[in-house]
Amino acid sequence: MSGFPRILQLFNSRWRGWGQLLVTGCLLLVLTACTATPSADASEAELAAILAQLPDPTPLTGEPNPFKTPPVPRNLPPTRATAVGPVCQAMQPAIGREAYSMANFRPEIRSAWAHPTNFGDRAAVDRNGQPVDNRISLIVLHETVASADSAINFFQTPHPRDEDQASYHALIRRNGTIVYTVPPDKRAFGAGSSSFRGESVRFNAKLPGSVNNFALHVSLESPRDGRDNRRRHSGYTARQYDSLALIVQQWMTGYTIPGDRITTHAAVDQSGSRMDPRSFQWQRLAQRLQLLNEGTIPGCADPDVGAGSSL
């Protein structure tokens, strides 16, 4: 294993606190160009120019986390390399030019904590008192459909009834600003009736099982032409993909989540009503994750050499 991913792993295993994750985000930004694999799309001169423009390694700041619950140490076994999963399938042998835009980008980081009725603890037992594996092991992508501000307002409104509660761990505005809304060690209510490869946990006799107990949820703010129920819209900004890659990279490293366990609300939904995130381009996320991991994505098999980049 090469240097920088190893450094990130060590950094995360030693400093697992919430605030430290934000600092890790800064580190990732600084390391972006360093971990890039030179390709046909970016000459060494271009890479040097990117490096010269990197920002000072000042830690990114956000509002302090009011909950301060220390994450439970995870000791997941290393996963077998596999090509299963959409982000693995979207990997390319060469890193596309757009992914290098991350090197010049420092996302603004904010927090707008959800009301405590809209999230809970990661429970150790299900509704029948049976022990369940509550280790964080899945990343679920969403879109807000409404504006980011509407979603935040909803999360900050008390919802005493279980069926009204909803939240994500983070959302990403159109300009790439990251807004954290639920601490990652807590259970956000991002996917109601849901299952991932048969994994689902049920807590309420009146409600179906869900992936929330072991999932992290992140949502992209929809474009204006996506604030309805049509199947497609104009998609997400490059800055949104940049910030999404940084969050996903932090979570993959911090919680040992392999690439084949990145999924969507549409894929885990059991109600038949969810399509999000619509118009999502997996290749744009895959390319950025490859840039942060020396051309590969942990938990995915290496891309076929010679297929060519089409980003």
Residues that bind Zn ion (CB under 5 A): 142, 265, 276
Residues, the chain, total? Answer: 311
DSSP 3-state of 215 = strand
Q: Which is nearer to Zn ion, 99 or 247 (CB)?
A: 247
Q: Which is nearer to Zn ion, 242 or 276 (CB)?
A: 276
Inter-CA distances, 25 with 62, 109, 292, Å: 11, 10, 11
The sign of the dihedral angle between the CA atoms of 241, 244, 249, 250 is positive
Residue type present at position 132: V
Q: Which is nearer to Zn ion, 86 or 298 (CB)?
A: 86
What's the min distance (Å) between Cβ of 126 and Zn ion? 23
Around Cβ 169, how many Cβ atoms within 10 Å? 26
Q: Which is nearer to Zn ion, 35 or 219 (CB)?
A: 219
What's the min distance (Å) between Cβ of 280 and Zn ion? 11
Closest CA to 151 of 135, 132, 166, 134: 166
* Rama region for 250: left / alpha / beta (φ>0; ψ in -120 to 50; rest): alpha
What's the min distance (Å) between Cβ of 211 and Zn ion? 12
Q: Which is nearer to Zn ion, 122 or 265 (CB)?
A: 265
What's the min distance (Å) between Cβ of 257 and Zn ion? 18
The sign of the dihedral angle between the CA atoms of 51, 56, 62, 67 is positive
What's the min distance (Å) between Cβ of 276 and Zn ion? 4
Q: Which is nearer to Zn ion, 260 or 276 (CB)?
A: 276
For 165, residues 6+ apart whose C-beta sits below 8 A from its C-beta are: 117, 118, 119, 159, 189
- Distance between CA 28 and CA 271 in Å, rounded? 37
What's the min distance (Å) between Cβ of 179 and Zn ion? 16
Sheet strands (E) in the chain: 109-111, 119-120, 138-143, 170-172, 178-180, 187-188, 215-220, 262-264
Q: Which is nearer to Zn ion, 199 or 276 (CB)?
A: 276
What's the min distance (Å) between Cβ of 278 and Zn ion? 10
Around Cβ 70, how many Cβ atoms within 10 Å? 9
